[in-house]
Chain A
Amino acid sequence: MSGSEFKPVLLGRRGKPNSHKLDTYKADGGYQALAKALAMKDTEVIDVVKASGLRGRGGAGFPTGLKWTFLPKDVQGPIYLCINGDESEPGTFNNRVLIEEDPHQVLEGIVISSFATRATTAYFYLRYEYGRCYRVLKDAIDEMYANNLLGKNILGSGYSLDIHLHRGACAYICGEETGLIESLEGKRAWPRIKPPFPAIEGAFRRPTVVNNVETMACIPHILNHGPEWFMSMGIPKDPNNPRDAGSYGPKLYCISGHVEKPGLVELPMGITARELIDKHAGGVWKGRKAKAVVPGGISMGFMSEKELDTPLDFAGPGRVGCLGLGTAAVIVIDDHTSMVDVLYNACRFFAHESCGQCTPCREGTAWSTKILERIRDGRGKLSDIDLLLEISSSIGTIPGTTICGLADGAAWPMKTAINKFRGEFEEYIKSGRRSESKALAGAH
């Protein structure tokens, strides 16, 4: 299926009048999937989701149905579902559009997922900055309670669910699932050591599933159209790689940076970065060429111009040295921009947002920012480049030196920027020039 013929699924109702209202959602066939799910057994719903090959849209791409099966079988007492709406990866805004434009789509997914996981309470963790989302969601949840879509005995099925809307306090780390849980519990959002994983001991020490907003939005469609329909989109699994779970379904791509037409587009998984930029974002701005492209949020690292034909599915960015697809937030950097400035900006963000629990991330992110600050001040040394590489390779869960994966996210922009644009760094340092960019020295 080519992108131009593709009819948006998740964004199908974007722009319709009152798209955030329950009556318009129902008129468009909303909540039929819920009725369908409630008529099934919870395990059958899990089977459908598993069969669809749906993978989490939050960044790591873990198979959603599989995650649900990790919950203990015979559990006494409550199970919780947490919705991760702490969308704070730079460049990412798909959750925001989904919530603002079509909150009931997400909420229907949440009720179905809660039913499937036997959760009786769902916590919607929303980043503080999303004020409009908060108000829209609040109204939508009220509408649902008023229409027996939430609360006791939903649609006469005997199943009951409460949704609590929780606003975060603007921290990147709350997007890490155990950091989110800690924050939800009222604590400092320091990610937990695992095991135990949240499925065994999560929020309030109860079995918990944490899912992304976009993942939830996919659920009603899978129930409505079936797993085969979902699998008809995207890139099938690589038969030569048993660990590849494939990249199925529609995906929201956030495009920002130096393009003519930034925005959110929905496409089947696996479009190449080049096609995405040229066909769906009006190309690089001002007639310039791209120098680097971030495939999925700044923590995934950079692709060079030569690598733009990489498909943006779960496996593609990894093949060119990026950390993964991440949130599919594509940031385009044109050839007039210095990679030193870009990397400095990324490092500054991570130094500011490092939760400070593990030594390597806490100190490493701040140190690399200081080094880049010095380089941008014309006082760099060629040895700084290797030092930056050494710092970046010594933080993260991949070498095993930190508790959570966000440190890997801090390391990857450093690694990829230096490995792919080393010459530019060397030239910058040798020239001894000072950055013309006004980007805030010392503000981390």
Chain B
Amino acid sequence: MAKVIVNDIEVEADAKDNCILAARKAGVEIPHYCWHESLSVVASCRMCLVEVGEKKPDGTVVMGPKLVPGCQTPVKEGTVIRTDSAKVKTTQQMTLELLLLNHPLDCSICDQAGECYLQDYTYKYGKAQSRLDEPKLQRVDKYHIGEQIALFTDRCVMCTRCVRFTREISGTAELQVVNRGSHEEIDVFPSEPCNNKLAGNVVDLCPVGALCSKDFLYKKRVWWLKNAGSVCTGCSTGCSIHVDQNEDKVYRLRPRENPLAQGHFMCDEGRFGFKYIHDERRLKTPKVNSSAVIDTNAQKSKTNGTSDLNFADPWLEVLSVTRTKIKEAIKTDARGFVGVLSPFMTLEEAYLLASYLKGLDKRVRLALGPVPVVGKDDKYPKGPKGESPAQEKVKFTIRAEKCPNRLGVEAILKHFEGEVVTLEQVASKGDSTAWYFVGGSSQGWVTEATDRAVGKPSLLIVQDIFPSPLSERADVLLPSATFAERDGTYVNHSGLAQAAHGAVRCPGDARADGRILMELAERKGLFNAVALRKEIALNVPSLSALAVGDLGDHGVGVAVAKKEVVHS
């Protein structure tokens, strides 16, 4: 630790901090473009110039004669930083004027407007007018720079964050600087576009509107977006993300910085893989097959008296029928009743279902649904020939295990069942007569094999988001929610429990799994993830770390028995 004085505010900074980080701790912003915590320091944008000096033990302060870049200058005991002197302010104004010289100022049609550091810094540190009296340089936009990325060349401030990202994090090195001086541009080699699996991150890294995501381009003004902190469910890395939505439509996902999870970035598979949320084929209506016809009119007259308006909630009848059917099936053959917990479920949901079924009869069996694994763990930065890096040099991993919560669900299963049994293992015994099957995958997750394994039971309850061979023949179909529509906790590959928050509502009559299970189990009150986490912590010793309830932005490590599966 080092005592640092920023604009007369004394603050304890880490000895590894540079001036930008130390000032941040004092609540002082040092504007910067080229510097980024995960990338190497180049100190080239010169936006973060500050005055730095030293407070001697005798109390005198000696300031350096020159301005220094805050990004490149480490702090030590007694470092004095001034960001509010006239010298710093005029230099900031000049740097911004220079950066805007050839900038087209096309904010009105720029996707970045509203979250643009050229706008923000100009507003805070710049001046209103440019003294440029000559025509601006005009450059050609490069839509071909990547499958998902477009380059608006003339908006670029040459911070080279994107170039360094492809060299240092993805290791694929597609991007580079071409030309010299004020004619410099970011570019790719001919026919070598920036299409690596992490390419979308350069859009987030770009502090201005130069690199834009083609997927999001011109879709929504960013000030209309509301975001919810969530967790990507694409693989077991469990990247922290923002879900940006407007009026129940998700427009984009962005990585949310989390040093405990993935760092600053996320992969394109996760970033652009959210479209299924709004897929037309989503299951939207709860159904009970032939054996019990839901009489919604009867329901209506019961609840609503003589009103003609149909406020009937199909769920009331469906859940009541389901409850009866479950109880009947367990009465007939408790051991033959199998609850299948999916690794896409949140901890809360897994706990609700497990405790409900085991509460009805201890002999009910619980199993782990299929865990999707695709290929091998994909590690970055790649070497020059595309080879994976040595383990200690890995900066990002896209995991082969394509589900968010295997470890968490396993912890629940171990607690209630004593061991983790897979669906196939249970099915192979041939003694199951009724199934409560939870899905939740965006992919064709219920395969023919699963379908065969389940066989022809006397009762089949399916809680899922997409139609599948199982849902087609389910006795009870409970349409449930995607990650963007529900609150809950996921435990990633390293045992980090992170809270995800719902961003949008479910389509049609579909419901968040937690709400379905709360009502099915006839528990009192509404679904509340924080309260449930505390309950889980009390009941499941391996998850006792959840007792804090609020897991914060970064999550909490839990002591689940880590059976780390390395797919390499």
Q: Are B101 and A363 in contact (CB under 8 A)?
A: yes
Nearest A residue to B67 via CB reads A400
Nearest B residue to A370 via CB reads B134
Q: Are A362 and B134 in contact (CB under 8 A)?
A: no
Nearest B residue to A188 via CB reads B177
Q: Are B99 and A366 in contact (CB under 8 A)?
A: no
**B residues 102-138 in Cβ contact with A at 8 Å:** 102, 131-134, 137
Give the chain A neighbours of B182 by CB distance below 8 A.
351, 354, 356, 362-363, 365-367
Give the chain B neighbours of A360 by CB distance below 8 A.
46, 94-95, 98
Q: Are A356 and B134 in contact (CB under 8 A)?
A: no
Nearest A residue to B97 via CB reads A363
Give the chain B neighbours of A399 by CB distance below 8 A.
66-67, 91
Number of interface residues of B (CB under 8 A): 35
Of B72, B158, B180, B184, chain A has the most CB atoms within 10 Å of the CB of B180
- Classify the interface of chain B: helix, strand, loop or mixed: loop
Q: Are B180 and A354 in contact (CB under 8 A)?
A: yes
Q: Are B158 and A367 in contact (CB under 8 A)?
A: no
Number of interface residues of A (CB under 8 A): 35
Q: Are B91 and A401 in contact (CB under 8 A)?
A: yes
Give the chain A neighbours of B176 by CB distance below 8 A.
188
A32 within 8 A of B: no
Give the chain A neighbours of B47 by CB distance below 8 A.
359
Q: Are B43 and A403 in contact (CB under 8 A)?
A: yes
A234 within 8 A of B: no
Digitize B37-49: 1 where CB-to-A-CB distance is under 8 Å, 0 elsewhere. 0000111111101
Smallest CB–CB gap between A347 and chain B, Å? Answer: 12
B68 within 8 A of A: yes
Q: A352-B181, A356-B184, A357-B42 are in contact. Are A363 and B98 (CB under 8 A)?
A: yes
Give the chain A neighbours of B44 by CB distance below 8 A.
190, 357-359, 403
B157 within 8 A of A: yes
Q: Are A193 and B43 in contact (CB under 8 A)?
A: yes
Of B72, B91, B98, chain A has the most CB atoms within 10 Å of the CB of B98
Q: Are A359 and B91 in contact (CB under 8 A)?
A: no
Digitize B194-238: 1 where CB-to-A-CB distance is under 8 Å, 0 elsewhere. 000000000000000000000000000000000000000000000
Taken together as a complex, chains A and B put the C-alpha atoms of A193 and B43 apart, in Å, by: 7
Smallest CB–CB gap between B99 and chain A, Å? Answer: 6
Give the chain B neighbours of A364 by CB distance below 8 A.
98
Q: Which of A352, A353, A381, A398 contacts B66 (CB 8 A)?
A: A398
Q: Are A353 and B181 in contact (CB under 8 A)?
A: yes
A374 within 8 A of B: yes
Nearest A residue to B52 via CB reads A400
Q: Are B45 and A359 in contact (CB under 8 A)?
A: yes
Taken together as a complex, chains A and B put the C-alpha atoms of A374 and B177 apart, in Å, by: 29
A394 within 8 A of B: yes
A387 within 8 A of B: yes
Give the chain B neighbours of A171 by CB distance below 8 A.
180
Q: Are B42 and A362 in contact (CB under 8 A)?
A: no
Q: A193-B41, A394-B91, A401-B67 are in contact. Are A367 and B177 (CB under 8 A)?
A: no
Nearest B residue to A363 via CB reads B98
Give the chain A neighbours of B46 by CB distance below 8 A.
358-360, 401-402
Taken together as a complex, chains A and B put the C-alpha atoms of A413 and B42 apart, in Å, by: 28
Nearest A residue to B43 via CB reads A193
Q: Are B41 and A401 in contact (CB under 8 A)?
A: no
Interchain residue pairs with CB less than 8 A apart (27)? A188-B176, A353-B181, A354-B180, A355-B181, A356-B177, A356-B181, A359-B98, A362-B158, A362-B181, A363-B101, A363-B182, A365-B181, A365-B182, A366-B137, A366-B182, A367-B132, A371-B133, A371-B134, A374-B133, A397-B66, A398-B66, A399-B66, A399-B91, A400-B66, A400-B67, A401-B95, A403-B44
- Nearest 10 pairs of A and B residues by beta carbon: A400-B66, A366-B182, A400-B67, A363-B98, A354-B181, A370-B134, A356-B184, A357-B44, A394-B94, A356-B181
